[in-house]
Chains A and B, each alone.
Chain A
Amino acid sequence: MTLTKYFEIGKINFINSFAYTFDLLASSVFVALILFIFVSLWKVVFGGQIMIEGFTISMMLWYLVMTESIVTAQGHVVEEIGEEIKSGQIANYLNKPYNYIFYKYASNIGNGVFRFFLTFLVASIVVLIFLGGITIPLISIIPVLITVFLAITLHFAMMALLGVFAFWFEDAKSMHFIYQKIVFTIGGMLLPLEIFPFWLERISAVLPFSYVAYHPAKLFVNFSFSSFFSVLVFQIIWIAVISLFIFLVFRVCVKKVSVNGG
């Protein structure tokens, strides 16, 4: 199997996403607002303190820059897939020479990477203006980008799974909404898990949601190769497990769709 065709699909979508500049601009203005609020919030909370749970104030906010950028990178995957499966539109994809989920992934990852960088840029500007920069080791950039890429992939995989489930549960929009809120909290998007009570921290740290937000962002502000490898391994494991689920559930779906005649 050649990966080139998926790469091409991704590239086209990367370029296409420039077309939605206005929509993107609106969503990044929103991210800027949230960051502004959190700069204010953390300034008050830190007060004179240098460090809270191993985070300085700038680590805390650059952590948020990273989580926000990753989480907003994926658009409406759940709704999109849910709609296509429910309406039987996937029948059109099934006879194409590529796998439907891979196709969706390829078309979303291009978009996702673009959105990631855009959000990151906007969020960084806000934090730079209202707080200041952060120094990170040069050597960490490539490994962090790798985990970010895997995080966006895992994010996609979980949303795709929900999208496939929308075949049975009516409201894909509400499911997306609920998933989003889970990532907000126990995924560690808004608060690093260290702030949580100990028991919740432990549970959240092993669940896949924190491999979308918390772990890569923590790695970004506090890099070490040992944690990089452990994050990498767990991200790959979760991606594999969730992909397996997707394919199992998807097979049942496709059967039903073809029985119904698409």
Chain B
Amino acid sequence: MVVNHLRVHWEYLKVALSTAMEYKINFIIQVLAMVFNDVVWIIFWLIFFNRFQNVGGWVLGDMLMLYAIITLSYGLSSVFFGNRNRIAEIVNQGKLDFYLALPKNVLFHVLISRSSFYGLGDVVFGIILAFIVLSLASLSLFLILVLASTSILLSVAILSGSLAFFFGNAEATSRNIFMGTLSLASYPLSVYQGVTKFILLTIIPAGFISGVPVELLKSFNAQWFWLTIGFVVLIFSIATFVFYRGLKKYESGNLMYVRT
């Protein structure tokens, strides 16, 4: 069962790669634009830390680590689950029928049936950054944390995309929630305090996407590590639950909005 799903995933990746090759120039430009974006942000933080050295205990190295994690998890989720930000659109336009007609897990099938290969730019960039800032000893921890971060990002996408089941036209809102969470995760966790920090470790899980992993890589803390893993399991379960709840609604055919 699992093997079969993985095989299908692999086939979709192959198909997506050949699509990308159909538009070679666009593909290259998009990859370069992604890398350029990452480079600009690194320059921003170089300038910033060149002047301030320390932001609430975070130094340049920590920030680079954060970018290694965030570009990798963003890139990996674009490549392997390229439909993650199109759930709202798929639901809203009734395209789920296509997935329901096929004998596969619907959520999984939706997520994998597209792949944004320009995310490869982010992946490569993240790997290079990781090589620069990471010690070999923490490699396995780093990989686990990247996977955790990817899963949380994916869960946020599923949750925000599932809004379309309940509110109809939620494409823009869903995208903004995802990008907003990502933006919050792109700054040192140490800048957030009090209630904000609590929110970022609960309702808007930006803290677990990047901040907590960086702290863990700086100094390992078993309690926070297991908390992170637990959080991944929790949010992913919630996301799947909400999606299937929404799917029930979709299958009851009550999604139609009669506009007058």
A touches B in complex, CB < 8 A: yes
Asked if B183 and A181 make an inter-chain contact with CB atoms under 8 angstroms apart, the answer reads no
How many angstroms between the C-alpha atoms of A191 and B44 in the bound complex? 8
User: In the assembled complex, how far is the CB of residue A49 from the closest CB belonging to chain B, in whole angstroms?
Assistant: 10
Is B222 an interface residue when CB atoms closer than 8 A count as contact?
A: no
User: In the assembled complex, how far is the CB of residue A258 from the closest CB belonging to chain B, in whole angstroms?
Assistant: 26
Asked if B50 and A197 make an inter-chain contact with CB atoms under 8 angstroms apart, the answer reads yes
Q: Which interface class (under 10, 10 to 19, 20 to 34, 35 or more) fits B? A: 20 to 34
- Complex interface residues of chain B between 16 and 35 (CB less than 8 A to chain A): 25-26, 29-30, 32-33
Is A29 an interface residue when CB atoms closer than 8 A count as contact?
A: yes
Selected from B29, B32, B47, B172, the residue in CB contact (under 8 A) with A195 is B47
Please, which residue of chain A has its CB at the minimum distance from the CB of B52? A45
Summarize A's interface: helix, strand, loop or mixed: helix
Selected from B37, B56, B173, B184, the residue in CB contact (under 8 A) with A44 is B56
Q: Mark B174-212, 1 if CB is under 8 A from A, else 0.
A: 001001100110011011110010000000000000000
Chain A residues positioned under 8 Å from B32 (CB to CB) = 174
Is B259 an interface residue when CB atoms closer than 8 A count as contact?
A: no
Asked if A41 and B173 make an inter-chain contact with CB atoms under 8 angstroms apart, the answer reads no
Q: How many residues of A contact B (CB 8 A)?
A: 28
Asked if B30 and A174 make an inter-chain contact with CB atoms under 8 angstroms apart, the answer reads yes
Query: Given that A184-B44, A190-B44, A197-B47 are contacting pairs, would A37 and B172 also be in contact in the complex, using a CB cutoff of 8 Å?
Result: no
Selected from A23, A171, A177, the residue in CB contact (under 8 A) with B37 is A177
Is A178 an interface residue when CB atoms closer than 8 A count as contact?
A: yes
Is B10 an interface residue when CB atoms closer than 8 A count as contact?
A: no
27 A–B contacts from the bound complex (CB under 8 Å): A22-B172, A26-B173, A30-B180, A33-B180, A37-B187, A37-B191, A40-B191, A41-B55, A41-B187, A41-B191, A43-B191, A44-B55, A44-B191, A45-B52, A45-B55, A174-B29, A174-B30, A174-B32, A177-B33, A178-B33, A178-B36, A184-B40, A184-B44, A185-B44, A195-B47, A196-B51, A197-B50
